[in-house]
Structure 1
Amino acid sequence: MINNITAQEKELDRTKPPKAGPPKDVKFPEYFDTTLPNGINVLVIENNKIPAVSVRLVFKDAGSFNDGNKFGLASLTAELLTKGTKSMKATEIAEEIDFLGGSLNAGSDWDGSYISLSVLKKHLNKGIDILSDVVQNPVFENDELSRFKEQRLSAILQGKDDAGNLSDKRFNKIVFGDLPYGNPPEGTEESIKNITAADLQDFYRNYYTSSNLIIAFVGDITVDEALKFTEDKFSKLPEIGMNKTNSFKYSDPESYKNVYIVNKPGAVQSNLRIGHIGIARNNPDYIAVTIMNTILGGYFGSRINYILREKHGFTYGARSYFNPHLYSGDFSVDTDVRNEVTDTAISLILEELKKITAENVTDEELETVKNYMSGVFPLQLETANAVATRVINLKLYNLPKDYYNKYISSITSLTKDDILNSAKKYINPEKIYIVVSGDAGVISEKLKKIRGLADL
């Protein structure tokens, strides 16, 4: 009956939204995983709900970590893959992909180089033909290389006017020294000028091999189709290139005892980069570290942003980051503040680093960030290319097969003690490197109150 209202219903407060239940795990798609006799690792996720396919190739070791002393070599090699083959010019490749209504992108990061194709299922055969051509038959023409080198040199010169870019470069060099992570992946003026087409060809031969290749097919495609494409279209790749064993041996420098200033005369703001070595992507504490860092400085409602922006009005925004790579990574706090508050801002950041390593976070902080991170994760799986990237990352970083299926429950199960332990383990307020890009003539005396100054 209409008027039959229970006692429980009478107690409902309809002016407030119902309390949300605990976040539920996201079911990551099942995937086929095999390694062919030539070493290619093939991953397939079938989804015929949309008549489209994304194909992503990652060549392990073909990243900036293996640039040697030719900084920028990996990124230039990857970018020029789509700029000409033995049978097609760069314009022809672009026109063909555009005609298919697809996309073809290539690039690199520290851990490898990638090339991805997205195309409707009805155009997949033609799309794969183009993809296999650019992967197996690049020519690295001198004209295209010269054009890309000019663009890169222009970007490097522009970066010298960017305080944040200057801080990044100095910070990475101080933290990692002569290790690869201490070098700029985009290159330097000197290194880019000295890179030749022969260098690109050598890098390609050494690292673009079948034994280095992980290829993921996601979308309206069967396992049999994916395997046939791989066997028929990517058989020209050499199996083995350079016999290289990567190693990462880190020794903690003593440079945390000083403040490093990158002089930018006339600057009205100081860019701060404060941090130290971080973690590798496959670190078992990665999720706990991510939640801890989000509370500290990883989103707008974080502690560091509140202190510097909301409470003191020193900046428009302040963030902290853990940037994990295959072998290691870095942790840093990044912000821009007015010259006159540079020293105060640094002191406040150091206080927050000490606090996060000494005291438990609050229940409210932890629950807010758990809900935030649990809500963000499904949004990161909305496209086929995003799913392809994620499934490749499982293999590239040697993560458990059920990693994504357990991702949200791994977040929700974290306790305040877990967060405190991760902070104590991976943030050391006593060995923090401080880099400031700004007007040395204005800020030097203030910074001497914090630590000694390194030579400019």
Structure 2
Amino acid sequence: MTLITVRPEPGAARPYAFPAVRRISAHGGTVIAAHLPGQVLATAVLLLDASAARETEGREGTATVLAKCLEEGTTARDSAAYALALEGLGAELSPSVDWDSFRVGVAAPAPLLAGAVRLAAEAARTPKLDPADVIRVRDDEVAALKMDWAQPGPRADAALRADLFAADGRYRRPLHGDPASVAAVSVDDVLEFHRSWMLRPGVLLVTGDLDEVDLDVLAEAAFAGTSGGLVAPEGPLGVPVPTRPHVLLVDRPGSVQSTLRLGHRAPERATPDYVPMTLAATVLGGAFTSRLNHQIREVKGYTYGIRGSYGMTRRAGRFEVAASVQTAVTGPAVRDTLHEIAETQATGVTEAELDVARSWRAGQLSVEMQTPGAIAGALATLVVHGLPDDYYERLRREYLEATVEQVSAAAAKHLAPGGLTLVVEGDAAVIRDELAEFGEITDVDL
């Protein structure tokens, strides 16, 4: 046994190359694949334009209920038989919903992927949707949301979204709905959503050792029996920002902490400024070494952690800072947070800060792209946001080559401290007076 007494020094970063992308059109749909030589486990994701944005007003959460019903059996097999069929292939099904898509993912050994894709398509195209199962799944989701909404945070998040996207229909409501909207979802709502959006071909994303799979066979498995074309994507929602800040107060009587959500609108994911915006947000609040975390946590001791980031979808984006602070320091915490945002917008970033942010973002990108599932998620980003196939090769390079001038310009352009919505969820009787200096206060009851 050899005892190593000196810590090894870090070596040079290994080069990273995103796998080559292949595309075929077959059987009425499109397959987009990335070759991972020697990767025994493969992933396929059926990407459908059946996102939460397609839901009917007042029935937010319909797509989520549908996603959770997909493992309740199909018209050809009950839930037990379907689970055994998956297990027989060593496969795992993973349905999910976001603002831009409905995804039915399946992972399996590469030689068995075609069978797994058939099962995923069977669940997506012909789910059983027995009324009793739909009602049980819906009620379970309502119970889970009630538990979640009893905690600090979800009401503040909902208040911020409602304010930022007040004029933008579905986008003003939470992604997965709230307890009331999900409770209103009926069996007919789920059936109608399925009929309207789940029977189109969509796009199949495939990652793994492509020498072990036949893409044409996968296309047939994914798209058999489908009809209809792609729905033309709607345009960006725009970036309206108020001319002055205002405060939304969500009362949580007796709370010993205040939950803070500060935000404003931002561009959509496909913006050319994505890289400098992301790096500016990293310096400000996107890492443990960020300005916000250093000031609010390390220097002042107001919180265990504070984060600031851009969140972007196909049609919209938002800048948001999130933290929980002691009730007694709510006012000072908001004041110092606003100061750091304003300072970053006004003076930009330093070379030392940016050097850390560049290295971290580029390194994180390389680390994240190590599994078939992660590569499939990256392919989905290309499809949803209309990005070129060489995007990830360029993205890492652009992170490493971004200049102080570029990132500072993005901070100046895309941070709007004078138009922030400030949501504070806490004991209104204690904190109301000290919030008055930050703008007009509106009480929000959720």
TM over 0.5: yes
Partner residue of 2:23?
33
Deviations 1:289-326 (A, max 9, x none): 11110110001110000000000000000001211000
Q: CA deviation at 1:279?
A: 2.2
Amino acid at match of 2:339: E
Query: Which of 188, 193, 198 in structure 2 is aligned with 1:198?
Result: 188
Partner residue of 2:176?
186
Partner residue of 1:268?
256
Q: Is residue 2:401 matched to residue 1:413? A: yes
- Taking the aligned partners of 1:251 and 1:233, their CA distance within structure 2 comes to 37
Partner residue of 2:142?
153
- Taking the aligned partners of 1:234 and 1:284, their CA distance within structure 2 comes to 34
Partner residue of 2:384?
396
Q: Where does the alignment leave 5 or more consecutive residues of structure 2 unmatched?
A: 1-5
- Taking the aligned partners of 1:190 and 1:361, their CA distance within structure 2 comes to 44
Is the 2:164–2:265 Cα contact (8 Å) retained in structure 1? yes
Partner residue of 1:8?
none
Q: CA deviation at 1:79?
A: 2.2
Q: CA deviation at 1:51?
A: 2.6
Q: Is residue 2:206 matched to residue 1:210? A: no
Query: Which of 265, 270, 287 in structure 2 is aligned with 1:299?
Result: 287
Q: CA deviation at 1:354?
A: 0.9
Is the 2:121–2:221 Cα contact (8 Å) retained in structure 1? no
State which structure, 1 or 2, has the greater radius of gyration over its C-alpha atoms.
1
Change (3 A) 1:253 1:286: closer
What SS does the corresponding residue of 2:34 show, helix, strand or coil? Answer: strand
Change (3 A) 1:82 1:47: same
Aligned length: 437
Query: Which of 417, 423, 438 in structure 2 is aligned with 1:450?
Result: 438
Is the 2:53–2:99 Cα contact (8 Å) retained in structure 1? yes
Give the percent of matched residue pairs that are identical in Structure 1 and Structure 2: 24
Across the aligned residues of Structure 1 and Structure 2, the Cα RMSD in angstroms comes to 2.3
Q: How does 1:30-429 map to 2 (within 5 A)?
A: 30-36=20-26, 38=28, 40-60=29-49, 62-69=50-57, 70-179=59-168, 180-211=170-201, 213-222=202-211, 225-240=214-229, 246-250=234-238, 252=240, 254=242, 257-429=245-417
TM-score, with length taken from structure 1: 0.90
Amino acid at match of 1:81: L
Deviations 1:76-124 (A, max 9, x none): 2222222221111223222332343221110100001001111113433
Deviations 1:235-276 (A, max 9, x none): 2112248x6763554573759542111000010000000110
What SS does the corresponding residue of 2:359 show, helix, strand or coil? Answer: helix
Deviations 1:362-381 (A, max 9, x none): 22111111111111111111
Is the 2:68–2:95 Cα contact (8 Å) retained in structure 1? yes
What SS does the corresponding residue of 2:228 show, helix, strand or coil? Answer: coil
TM-score, with length taken from structure 2: 0.92
What SS does the corresponding residue of 2:153 show, helix, strand or coil? Answer: helix
Amino acid at match of 2:174: P
Is the 1:26–1:404 Cα contact (8 Å) retained in structure 2? no
Change (3 A) 1:215 1:325: same
Amino acid at match of 2:379: V
Change (3 A) 1:125 1:401: closer
- Taking the aligned partners of 1:192 and 1:298, their CA distance within structure 2 comes to 32
Q: CA deviation at 1:57?
A: 1.1
Change (3 A) 1:163 1:375: same
